Chains A and B, each alone.
Chain A
Amino acid sequence: MSQTAPIKDAQALIELYYNKGWTDGLPVVPPSEASVGATLAAAGLQGDEVIGEIPDRHVRVTADKVAINAVLAGCLPEYMPVVVAAVKGICHPDYCYHGAATSTGGSAVATIVNGPIAPRLEINARDNVLGQGFRANATIGRAVRLVMMNAINTRPGKLDRSTLGNPGKYSLCFAENEAESPWEPLHVERGYRPDESTVTVFAAEGLIQIYNQLSSTADQLLLPFADAMSNLGSMNIAGQAQIVVLFAGEHCETLRASGWSKRQVKDYLYDHAKRTVADVKRAGRIAGPVAPEDERTWRHPVKSADDIVVVTAGGRAGAFSAVLMGWGSAAHTRSVTTPVVLP
């Protein structure tokens, strides 16, 4: 699994990993037999076990390589089952790895953790949930990206053809704030028990923060979300992939006080997130001349209300939430939820 090099100094070792092209540009944690072994053991895996396969890339991702990349990313060994579940998710055919990872659209892997594993590993679900400062969030997401780069050959300018990329490509991992959510958590909605842990991966374009500080009713609160979801520059307005809507503290309380179910929220967002086909054609996002009926025909950014993925996360204070737009189209990709397997 390893080879030796005549290097005595830790700094030189870090430089070696960088010069080999094995990093995301940030310094990595050089692995050792002990750290890689502990990481595999934490997930109950043997090094040669296949975690997933990307047939279009002729690659089978093995546990030892996932463990090495997890250590490089700075993961503690106990994060490994979450990393493994995320890697299984991006290898699932529904995720459409080859498209999502290669596309000029430059998607990040939004990695959403549910269930008891999240508080146990201190995966942040509250203040600054999409920001810095939390080891599990930072390094689990980073490990997924390093697996993509190193094990699945997804390097910028080569098999990652992102025009811009987005900051979430370094890491975009968070837990759902189940304790303060007005609704059942995402994994329960998808058929798992509350005491099971899961990882949901979603090919995400950029994040749009939603500020709405004066609305006291659900219908008023949700209008800016619907407006952001239907922006003419998104991939969604043409491709209708899924969208993740992330509700944080004060907005959650408004929705809870309104008594709206998650179903009602999704239906309302679907009904109000729309543009006329004429508008979309004028913007050059759908081909063809504008026909009279296009002025009266609506185009939604998702195929159905069920394609709006609602998650609760973020701090209690502040009237901010977010929309994570989807990469590609409904024909390309769907979010995938995978159970976390503990040894």
Chain B
Amino acid sequence: MEIFDPTISAEREAFSYAPRPKDLHGLKVGLVENTKFNSETILRKIAERLDERYKVKLVHVDHKQSSSHSVADDGLAKLKEQADFVIAGVGD
């Protein structure tokens, strides 16, 4: 008998991880805040600790439209332009 497959496999997109910084001293950090409660609080606290330990400078905080949305293109452009590395995370 015939079997009809109702599924679709997600298209795989080739990507590679950005190289991790060998040394954080003096770098510029960007944050991606996902709008959930405490997200910005915990990310800013991490940025503060990085500043204390490594003199990392916070240069940009991106606020997503919602926790379910991707970072908007203009936000990505700002992060690429201004930050050496980016921290994103979920707070709740």
Contacts and interface: CB of A to CB of B under 8 A. Distances in A.
Contacts of B37: 287
Contact of B2 (A32, A62, A102, A103): A32
A57 B66 CA distance: 17
B8 interface: yes
Interface string A1-42: 111110110000100100000100000001111001000000
B12 interface: yes
A141 to B, nearest CB: 16
A13 B6 CA distance: 14
A5 B3 contact: yes
B68 A151 contact: no
Nearest to B13: A58
Interface residues of A, number: 44
A146 B8 CA distance: 12
B73 interface: no
Interface string B49-92: 00000000000000001111110000000000000000000000
B13 A22 contact: no
A3 B2 contact: yes
A22 B7 contact: yes
A65 interface: yes
Contacts of B69: 96, 99, 332
Contact of B4 (A68, A151, A287): A68
A152 interface: yes
Given A13-B1, A96-B68, A65 B10 contact: no
Nearest to A150: B6
Interface of B: 1-8, 10-13, 35, 37, 65-70
Interface of A: 1-5, 7-8, 13, 16, 22, 30-33, 36, 55-62, 65, 68-69, 71-72, 96, 98-100, 102-103, 146, 150-153, 287, 328-329, 331-332
The 6 A-B pairs with the shortest beta carbon distances in the complex, nearest first, are A99-B68, A150-B6, A331-B66, A2-B2, A58-B10, A31-B4
